[in-house]
Each structure stands twice: as structure tokens, then as C-alpha cells.
Amino acid sequence: MVPVPQTVWVLLALSGVLNVRSCWTFTCPSICECSMKSDTCSTNGRETGEKLSCTRETQLRRLIHLPLTEVSSNAFRGLINVSRIEISQSDCIRNIRNHAFLSLHSLAEIQIQNIRNLISIEKGGFTDLPRLRYLSICNTGIIHFPDFSTMSSLVILDNFFLELGDNMHLDSIPANAFQGITEESVYMKIIKNGFKEIRSHAFNGTNLDKLILKGNRYLRNIHEDAFEGASGPTMLDVSSTALHTLPRRGLGHLKVLIARSTPYLKTLPPLESLLELEVAEVTYPSHCCAFHTWRRKHSFYRDLSADNVTDLYDINLQYPDLQLSLCPGPFQCTPEPDAFNPCEDLLGYSFLRAVTWLITVFAVAGNMTVLIVLITSHKKLNVSQFLMCNLAFADLCMGLYLLLIAAMDYHSRK
Ligand SMILES: *[C@@H]1O[C@H](CO)[C@@H](O)[C@H](O)[C@H]1NC(C)=O
Ligand SMILES: *[C@@H]1O[C@H](CO)[C@@H](O)[C@H](O)[C@H]1NC(C)=O
Ligand SMILES: *[C@@H]1O[C@H](CO)[C@@H](O)[C@H](O)[C@H]1NC(C)=O
């Protein structure tokens, strides 16, 4: 490479500030050395030492440390063969304009990451992106839910993968938030955001596959009709949220439910609305009990399927409308009930409970007294006193055991 005079670097630095967009549209800047893998133009002249680099591969644009305050409309025009654009770690960017990503027909992935000062992505920011199958907006400061309504992705074969994470200033998912992304099924990973609620019809018009809402610590409420107009989801993860209930409608196709570390989720929706559930991971063992009990009571379909397969076919022919998929398949639920968390109360009747407490109190108090009296008397123990001591200790242990049971019973009833 021909050595570059200092002045050219300064010029480049200036032009980098004033006209950075050129960096995205030119093929290879004459000043940079372009290898097939990457070309990096550095604006070393700026005293902030900020680095503007456009890594250029034929398939990839990676834009980091951009000294821009906004990504303007049509910023990526001309990148017709680029399949992936990543904008990250650019502290100055505050706004992504309308039509910033417009009609990029090869673009499959967009990542917008670690831009803490990004406040808004204007309506129509993602427009006409037929090949798009991965969109990630993580760790930004956006205050309005981004608009996806004009995206019109045509992903086939694959799921569309949408990731929204660490956007702490988003406080709700509005109605029809995901409409227009694609007609195909969508895998949504919406984690660790600031959401407090998910509104009615939030997922209207989407074909949900998996929905991960893990780690949205402030999420207290999913509206009853949030899944209205959507199909799916088949998997829902609401771990580490502050949810108190799950919606009663719209979870009919749910196969996997994960609700770990959700201490406020004390009641589950009616189990009739979770007919297809196969795997549940919940916080409280008692919920597993509820599932198991319910399935035992409604085992009509299972009896039927356990019978003869040919019978099943007969029924299918006679009552084609009868949904045999209703038949509960194998069902797993964790945590399993254990000795201290059985499905029933430890002490089933109040009479039993009262007697247990009574005996506990007498056994502990009485034997304790005997032991204390015998041991603190300064006379030497004779044989019968030693035996009494021994007996009192054994009975005290019995009393403590009863206390343990009574206490666990009290705890489990709470
Ligand atoms: C895009 O790819 C096509 C075919 O692979 C090629 O003919 C065309 O020159 C490329 N355009 C650009 C701007 O790279
Ligand atoms: C749900 O989406 C449909 C179009 O898919 C629309 O016509 C309807 O108004 C939406 N419902 C609500 C409550 O927004
Ligand atoms: C199923 O039914 C057929 C005839 O109805 C009978 O021959 C067969 O033994 C049955 N099989 C079982 C597993 O019950």
C-alpha cells in the first residue's frame, strides 16, 4: 500500500464525521486497503479516539462505534447483496429514522445492540424486508415499542426469530405489536425488558411458536385477551417474572410451560384451558399436584387410548369430530411432590392436627423438665434415675419429631 500522508488522514477523519453514510454505500474506499474479508477505515484523527469501522465482507456489514446521532432514511441503500447488518456500541446514535431499513431484499439478519442512547426507532423503520428472518434489538434505550407492521418478511421453512432484550425503558407490549412481521411462525425471545404489562391483543395476527418472556422482572400482568387473534404459542416461558396469573384464554395449544422462580404465580389458569400441556416446570410442587389430580379425574380419554388401538379407529370413524388429540399423553411436571411437599396436607383432619400439637407440646415440655431436673440436681445419678433420664431423652426426641411434622404441616397449609 502506498504510504498515506498525514493530511489525508485528517481529511478522512472530517469526512468520516460529515458524510459517514458514504462508508456504507461505497464498495471499497480508495484510501483503505480492502481484503476480501474486511476493510476498516479508521478515523484516528479525532481526539476522542472514536473508531469508525465498517467491516466488509460480501455477506456482512458490521458497524461499530459510529459517530452519528441518527441512522437516516435509506441509510443502507445500495447494499443489495448484504445479508446481515449489525449496528452496535455506538453511543451517539439516538434515533433510527423511518425507512432506515428499506427494501433490502437480501437482508436476512439485523442486529441493533448495545446502543444505550438510542431512544426511538421511528414507525416504518423496518419496511419491505422479504428475506429477514432474524431481528435483534438488545440493550437500547428505546421508549416506544418498535413498529414492525411494514416488515412483511416471507421466511419459509424456518421460524422468524425475534429477540428483544434489555430494553429497560419499554414498559408495555401494546395491541397488535407484532402484526406484519410475517405470516409464518415466529419464535420470540423477549427477555429482561422493563415491561410491566402485556396488553389485550398484543399478539394479534401472529403465528407464535415459542414465546420466552423470561426475566422480565416487572411484568405483573398479561391481559386475558393478549393471545386473542394469535395462534399458538406451543411453548411459554415466564420464569423470573412478577406475574400473578396467566391468561385463561389462548393457551390451548401450549405443550410446554415453564414458570420457574415466579413466587407470585400462586394460581394457575383453569386446567381445562391447558389441555395439550405435556411438560410443566413450575415453582410450587402443589401446582404439579393440581395437574396430576386433574388428569386423574379426566382420564376418560386415556383409558380409551390404553384400550385397543382398533377401538380407537372405530371411534374415530363413528365420531370424526371427536378430537382424539385431547387424550392426555405422558405428562411431566417438576418439581415432583416429595415427603415434605405431598399433594395432600400432611395432616388431613383438623382433629389430627390438634392432637398432634397437643402431644407435641406435652412431650417436649414434660420431657425437657424431667431432663433438666435430673441433670441439674447435684447428686450422683443412681441406676433408676439414669434410666429415667434415658427414657426422657428418647421421648423428647419423639416430641421433636412430632414438632417437625406439625411445623411442616403448618407451613404447607399456609
Ligand atoms: C449482487 O449479486 C449479483 C449476483 O450475485 C451480482 O451480479 C451483482 O453485481 C451484485 N451487486 C453488488 C452491488 O454487489
Ligand atoms: C386483530 O387483527 C386483525 C387483523 O389481523 C384486525 O382486523 C383486528 O382489528 C385486530 N384486533 C384488534 C382488537 O386490534
Ligand atoms: C385388540 O382387539 C382385537 C380384536 O378386537 C383382539 O384380537 C386383540 O387381542 C386386542 N388387543 C389387545 C392388546 O387388547
CA torsion angle for 228, 230, 232, 237 (degrees, to 10)? -70
C-alpha R_g of the chain: 32
As a dihedral over the C-alpha atoms of residue 258, residue 262, residue 264, residue 266, rounded to 10 degrees, the angle is 40
Cell numbers placing 260: 420457574
Q: What is the model's pTM?
A: 0.67
Would you say residue 252 has pLDDT above 90? no
Which amino acid makes up residue 156? I
Q: How does pLDDT run across 274-291, given as a tens digit for each residue?
A: 888 888 898 888 888 888
d(CA 280, CA 289): 12
The residue to mutate among 81, 82, 104, having the most atoms of ligand 1 within 8 angstroms of its beta carbon, is 81
Q: What is the mean pLDDT of residues 394-401?
A: 94
Q: What is the mean predicted confidence (pLDDT) over 25-46?
A: 36
Cβ neighbours for 146, distance < 8 A, ≥ 6 positions apart: 121, 125, 126, 137
d(CA 206, ligand 2 centre) in Å: 11
At residue 371, the 3 state secondary structure works out as helix
Q: Which atom of ligand 3 is nearest the CA belonging to 308?
A: 1
Q: CB of 204 closer than 6 A to ligand 2?
A: yes
Average of per-residue pLDDT across 212-229: 91
The per-residue pLDDT for 59 is 54
Q: Report the separation in Å between the CA atom of 81 and the middle of ligand 1, taken as the mean of its atom positions.
A: 6
Q: Is the CB of 229 under 6 A from ligand 2?
A: yes
The reply to whether ligand 2 has any atom less than 6 angstroms from the CB of 174 is no
Mean pLDDT across the chain: 76
pLDDT above 80 (res 308): no
CA of 59 to the centre of ligand 1 (A): 11
pLDDT over threshold 60, residue 57: no
The CATH number given to 6-269 is: 3.80.10.10
Q: Which of 29-33, 161-165, 378-382 has the lowest mean pLDDT?
A: 29-33
Q: Which residues contact 2 (CB under 8 A, 6 or more apart)?
A: none
Res 158: pLDDT? 78
Q: How far apart are the first and last CA of the chain?
A: 77
Check pLDDT > 80 for residue 121: yes
Residues in Cβ contact with 91 at an 8 Å cutoff, skipping those fewer than 6 apart:
115, 116, 117
**What pLDDT was estimated at residue 29?**
33
Residue 43: band (very low, low, confident or very high) from pLDDT cuts 50, 70, 90: very low
- Asked whether the predicted pLDDT for residue 312 surpasses 50, the reply is no
Mean predicted confidence (pLDDT) in 388-403:
93
pLDDT at 49: 33
d(CA 335, CA 321) in angstroms, rounded, equals 36
Residue 235 DSSP code: E
> Among 58-72, 83-97, 298-312, where is mean pLDDT lowest?
298-312
Q: Which amino acid is at 225?
A: D
Proximal ligand: closest to the CA of 178: 2
Residue 413 buriedness (CB in 10 A; 0-12 / 13-18 / 19+): exposed
C-alpha to C-alpha distance for 37 and 39, rounded to whole angstroms? 7
Percent of the chain with pLDDT over 70: 74
Please, are residues 84 and 109 in contact by the beta-carbon 8 Å criterion?
yes
**pLDDT over 60 at 325, yes or no:** no
Distance CA 189, CA 143 (A): 19
Instruction: Examine the pLDDT at 386 and tell me if it is beyond 50.
Output: yes
**How many Å is the maximal CA-CA distance in the chain?**
107
Distance 36 CA to ligand 1 centre (A): 15
Query: What's the confidence (pLDDT) of residue 17?
Result: 37
**DSSP conformation letters of 165-179:** E--TT--EE-TTTTT
Atom of ligand 2 nearest to the CA of 229: 1
Q: Counting atoms of ligand 2 from 1, which one is nearest the CA of 205?
A: 5
Residues touching ligand 1 (Cβ under 6 Å) are 80-81
Residues with Cβ within 8 Å of 172's Cβ and at least 6 positions away in sequence, in order, are 145, 195, 196, 197, 198, 199
Q: 322 falls in which pLDDT band (50, 70, 90)?
A: very low
pLDDT at position 299 is: 63
Q: Which of 107, 47, 46 is nearest to 75 (CA)?
A: 107
Domain limits of the chain?
A: 6-269, 284-343, 350-413
What is residue 89's predicted lDDT score, i.e. its pLDDT? 82
Residue 221's SS3 state is strand
**What integer pLDDT is reported at residue 27 of this predicted model?**
40
DSSP-derived pairing of the beta strands 60-64 and 53-56:
antiparallel
Question: Is the previous residue joined to 247 through a cis bond, with omega within 30 degrees of 0?
Answer: no
Summarize the confidence of residues 298-327 as an average pLDDT: 48
Higher-pLDDT residue of 345 and 102 is: 102
Alpha carbon nearest to ligand 3 atom 1, residue: 308
Supply the pLDDT for residue 45.
32
